[in-house]
């Protein structure tokens, strides 16, 4: 089978439309729940046959649910490297599930699969048997969790999840034990970076049990001033406490970011205008762009849009560029390899095309 | 009197239209002849009254000539600093005549004046009493000299030039004695700079008695890959020999430049396309531009036009931007000082305006 990445509604990324709250500063909210099937070995120790059984079980349960009744089962084993990386670039599967952990392509575990309707989804045979996830536009922790809770309850009717009276949900890695919940918010903080306040803010977050990462989760570097803020621990707290705490902190960060932007606009309006328009000019006309430069330029333009300096680009297009200019997206589109030397040219060409279409709109 | 810089046809810069031979690589050709009136002290030793007499004499002679019959007499003494610098930025008067030599504004000599019809002109009371000059579009040494020779003959009928049987025309500085001729070609050599061949070429030129300077003649730095190539000595050679020699060498440099561009296009077409389009993108959208950056970006775009990569800008507009984005031009237009902190913003705004008009054309 050749996987069709456009099988999913909006490529599996309904959050791109920037329709959610604070959609300009907060790109998306993600919540996931880790679950394992009682009486079965954790994925990491399982035989291939066990994994297949887990997938069959989850598929059966999904069919009985409201949300995933019609969701296609995307089996990662049938997919080549570019297709799996493409799903990862869309933030629909983890590096682990896509078999991208460590050096190069180590292949995927049997029974690795994704079921999703474009908002909620299930990764099967990841580090845990089941990882329920929800990805929403903007700052929407409660809404994302509500969707997920419903799915969790529905699947829980069909599947016996491994649960311990004292510890809560049992997971492959102890850091997830308890609620199995991890929530994260992808947030754009150019104001705090430009005013050099960012280190202080991140330090403050780590003191209250939150952590930050780059666009691609654990271990990924921060580029383009895009930060993923998330809770660090899950044991000993209720889901509501975890979400409330993260929500309060993110609200504060949004406030700091807005203050920083206000200060920049007040004290250095010309420098800022020059910066954001130069970013736009380069994206509009460059013939070769690295992904990192693209992220940085998109960050500049997004700031310009946020400050009402640039009006001929939508946040939707900026979100789309962030995802579709990644290596696997470009390589897949052009039917080339991930190491093709022309990728930077394709990236520039794709970017120009989208920005020109915006102006013509 | 407030000087009107647009008094002259096309601001005194008919060469801007890029209509001359090799107009894409060679911006302009300039030839000048140094002359002094016999029996009068050189300007540098003259009393103010002497200078006034010299001006009156030259004005009378000009009125009797075909070319300068109707030329306005632009007296530099009546002009403020910005206006004089503006004339210098237009390459119509030397730093010396504009009183800009050395630190700050040392004021101008009495009787300092310019008469020009937009192609040929006379500087009066410069280092020499009379400096005839001709500025033509493109690579046009013979044409420029022909115009100048005619003017020289016409003025020579009315004025007794200081001439020595053995040495030729006598001049204030011995380096000009002989023909009094200096010819220079303003040439754009990005190909030789990018292929790192430029040092070799310039070394070769100095070995055959030629020298190079930046856009503003003696002592000015090279920016934006614009070089003025000129003859170094004038004594002991005929005008024709000097011009032929310079012409032969410039023709070779043009050939080297074309070879370099060909190599760049063959070996690194993507790098070049990216470079020239980025330059265009920044000029189109930046909100603040230093003059030096502007020159460098204009150089990039000019290369792009020369290689037929960029078609929506004319060389005329690029020439115009080169002149009109200079400090005095911007300050004069906005009625601001030369040290106004907003000049970089005005430069960016003016540049955008011209480039947008080109696209709308």
pLDDT class of A312 with cuts at 50, 70, 90: confident
Percent of chain A surpassing pLDDT 90: 74
Are the Cβ atoms of B274 and A287 closer than 8 angstroms? yes
What's the token pair of residue B84?
Answer: 């004089």
Contact B270 A288 (CB under 8 A): yes
Rg of chain A (C-alpha set):
21
Task: Provide the pLDDT for residue A198.
Answer: 94
The mean per-residue pLDDT over the stretch B295-301 comes to 96
CA distance A87 to A81: 10
Would you call A286 and B278 a contact, using CB atoms and an 8 Å cutoff?
Answer: yes
Q: What is the pLDDT of residues B41-60, one digit of tens each?
A: 999 889 999 999 999 999 99
Chain A residue whose CA is closest to B272 = A287
A-chain residues near B278 (CB < 8 A):
282, 285-287
Can you tell me the distance from the alpha carbon of B155 to that of A18, in angstroms, rounded to the nearest whole number? Answer: 75
Evaluate if residue B268 carries a pLDDT over 90.
Answer: yes
The number of C-beta contacts closer than 8 angstroms across A and B is 51
Instruction: Please tell me the predicted confidence (pLDDT) of residue A107.
Output: 76
Q: Which pLDDT score is estimated for A16?
A: 86
Q: Which tops the pLDDT comparison, B349 or A236?
A: B349
Query: Coil, strand, or helix at residue A274?
Result: helix
With CB atoms and an 8 Å threshold, state whether B345 touches A270.
yes
Q: Which of A327, A345, A346, A347 is nearest to A337 (CA)?
A: A327
Quick one: pLDDT at residue A218?
A: 53
Average pLDDT value over all residues in chain A: 91
Q: Which of A152, A113, A112, A109 is nearest to A133 (CA)?
A: A152
- Calculate helix-pair angle for B327-334, B343-360, nearest 10 degrees: 90
Cβ contact A278–B284 (<8 Å): no
In chain A, which residue's Cα lies nearest the Cα of B341?
A270
Q: Do B287 and A281 touch (CB under 8 A)?
A: no
A316 CB burial (10 A radius; 0-12, 13-18, 19+):
middle
Lowest mean pLDDT among A7-16, B65-74, B119-128, B246-255: A7-16
Residue B74's pLDDT band (cuts 50, 70, 90)? very high
Cβ atoms of residues B112 and B125 within 8 Å? yes
Indicate the residue of B271, B280, B348 with minimum beta-carbon distance to A285. B280
**Chain A interface test: which of B283, B285, B351 (most A C-beta within 10 Å):** B285
How far does the CA of residue B349 sit from the closest CA of chain A (Å)? Answer: 11
pLDDT of A104 > 80? The answer is no
Mutate to test the interface with A, among B286, B297, B345 (most CBs of A within 10 A): B286
Give the one of A273, A278, A285 whose C-beta lies nearest to B277's C-beta.
A285
Q: What's the CA gap between A298 and A283, in Å, rounded?
A: 8
Chain B residues within an 8 Å CB radius of A301: none
Which of B276, B281, B348, B352 is best to mutate for the A interface (most A CBs within 10 A)?
A: B281
pLDDT above 70: residue B102: no
φ and ψ at residue B43, rounded to 5 degrees: -50, -45
Distance CA(A242)–CA(B85), nearest Å, equals 68
* Residues recorded for chain B: 361
Q: Contact B273/A287, CB-based, under 8 Å?
A: yes
Mark out chain B residues that contact chain A at CB-CB < 8 A: 270-271, 273-274, 277-278, 280-288, 345, 348
Taking CA–CA distances from B310, the nearest residue in chain A reads A285
pLDDT digits (tens, 9 = 90+) for A260-305: 999 999 999 999 999 999 999 999 999 999 999 999 999 999 999 9
Question: What is the average pLDDT across A35-46?
Answer: 93
Summarize pLDDT for A202-220 with one digit per residue, the tens: 999 999 989 998 876 555 6
The minimal CB distance from B281 to the residues A271, A273, A286 is found for A286
Q: Which two tokens stand for residue B346?
A: 């005005």
Both tokens of residue B195? 């292929």
Buried b (16+ CB within 10 A) or exposed e, A341-355: eebbbbbbbbbbebb
What is the mean predicted confidence (pLDDT) over B72-94? 90
Statement: residue B1 has pLDDT above 50: no
Tokens of B298: 């204009």
Question: Which of A248-262, B105-119, B265-279 has the least mean pLDDT?
Answer: B105-119
Which CATH architecture best describes the domain A5-259? Answer: 2-Layer Sandwich (3.30)
| Mean pLDDT, residues B291-318 | 95
B345: which chain A residues are within 8 Å (Cβ-Cβ)? 270
Question: Alpha-carbon distance A257 to A252, whole Å?
Answer: 9
| pLDDT tens for each residue of A325-358 | 999 999 999 999 999 999 999 999 999 999 999 8
Query: Phi/psi at A33 (nearest 5 deg)?
Result: -125, 130
Q: Say if CB A77 and CB A110 are below 8 A apart.
A: yes
Question: Does the pLDDT value for residue A309 go beyond 70?
Answer: yes
* Cβ-proximal residues to B232 (8 Å cutoff; 6+ apart), any chain: B209, B210, B211
pLDDT above 90 coverage of chain B, percent: 75
Kindly indicate the confidence band of residue A13, based on its pLDDT and cuts at 50, 70 and 90.
confident
Predicted pLDDT at A216: 61
Question: Which candidate, B108, B87, B86, B89, places its Cα nearest to that of B99?
Answer: B108
Listed residue (B132, B169, B99) closest to B30, CA to CA: B132
Whether pLDDT at B67 is above 60? yes
Model pLDDT for residues B107-140, shown as the tens digit of each residue: 788 899 999 988 899 999 999 999 999 999 999 9
Instruction: Please provide the DSSP assignment of B45-81 as one string.
Output: G--HHHHHHHHHHHHHHHHTSSSSTT--EEEGGGS-H
Positive or negative torsion for Cα B196, B199, B202, B208: negative
Percent of chain B with pLDDT over 70: 94
When computed from its CA atoms, the radius of gyration of chain B, rounded to whole angstroms, is 21
- Nearest C-alpha of chain A: how many angstroms from B26? 27
Per-residue pLDDT tens digits for A46-89: 999 999 999 999 999 999 999 999 998 999 988 888 999 999 99
pTM to 2 decimals? 0.91
Domain spans of chain A?
A: 5-259, 269-360
Average pLDDT over residues B161-167: 93
> Residue A175's pLDDT is what?
86
- Burial of A154-191, coded b for 16+ CB within 10 Å and e otherwise, reads bbeeebebbeeeeebbbbbeeebbbbbbbbbbbbbbbb
- Kindly list the residues from chain A whose CB atom is less than 8 angstroms away from the CB atom of residue B273: 287-288
Token couple for B180 = 């009094």
CB contact under 8 A, B348 and A287: no
Q: Is the pLDDT of residue A102 over 70?
A: no
DSSP bridge pairs for B113: B75, B124
pLDDT at B78 over 90: no
The share of chain A scoring above pLDDT 70, in percent, equals 94
- Burial readout A21-49 (b: 16 or more C-beta within 10 A, e: otherwise): ebbbbbbbbbbbbbbbbeebebbeebeee
Chain A residues near residue B310 by CB distance under 8 angstroms: none
d(CA A69, CA A130): 16
Interchain pair B281, A277: CB under 8 A: no
Residues of chain A contacting residue B343, judged by C-beta atoms under 8 Å apart:
none
């Amino acid at each position: 089978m050749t996987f069709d990445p456009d099988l999913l509604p909006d490529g599996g990324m309904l959050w791109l439309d920037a329709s959610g709250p604070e959609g300009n500063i907060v790109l998306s909210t993600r919540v996931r729940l880790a679950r394992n099937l009682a009486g079965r070995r954790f994925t990491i120790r399982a035989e291939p046959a066990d994994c297949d059984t887990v997938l069959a079980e989850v598929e059966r349960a999904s069919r009985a649910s409201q949300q995933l009744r019609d969701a296609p089962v995307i089996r990662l084993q049938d997919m080549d490297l570019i297709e799996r990386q493409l799903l990862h670039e869309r933030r629909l599967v983890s590096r682990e599930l896509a078999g991208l952990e460590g050096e190069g392509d180590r292949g995927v575990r049997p029974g690795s699969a994704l079921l999703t309707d474009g908002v909620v989804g299930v990764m099967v045979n990841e580090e845990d048997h089941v990882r329920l996830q929800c990805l929403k536009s903007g700052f929407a922790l409660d809404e994302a969790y509500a969707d997920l809770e419903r799915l969790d309850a529905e699947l829980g009717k069909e599947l016996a999840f491994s649960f311990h009276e004292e510890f809560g949900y049992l997971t492959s890695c102890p850091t997830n034990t308890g609620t199995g919940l991890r929530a994260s918010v992808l947030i754009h903080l150019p104001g705090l970076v430009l005013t050099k306040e960012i280190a202080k803010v991140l330090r403050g977050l780590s003191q209250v049990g939150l952590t930050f990462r780059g666009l691609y989760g654990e271990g990924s570097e921060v580029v383009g001033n895009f930060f993923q803020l998330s809770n660090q621990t899950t044991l000993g707290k209720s889901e509501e406490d975890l979400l409330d705490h993260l929500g309060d902190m993110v609200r504060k960060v949004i406030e700091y970011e807005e203050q920083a932007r206000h200060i920049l606009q007040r004290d250095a309006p010309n420098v800022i205008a020059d910066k954001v328009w130069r970013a736009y000019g380069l994206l509009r006309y460059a013939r070769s762009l690295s992904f990192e430069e693209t992220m940085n330029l998109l960050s500049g333009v997004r700031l310009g849009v946020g400050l009402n300096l640039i009006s001929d680009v939508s946040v939707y297009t900026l979100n789309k560029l962030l995802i579709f200019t990644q290596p696997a997206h470009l390589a897949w589109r052009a039917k080339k390899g991930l190491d093709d030397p022309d990728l930077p040219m394709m990236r520039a060409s794709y970017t120009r095309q989208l920005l020109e279409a915006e102006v013509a709109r």
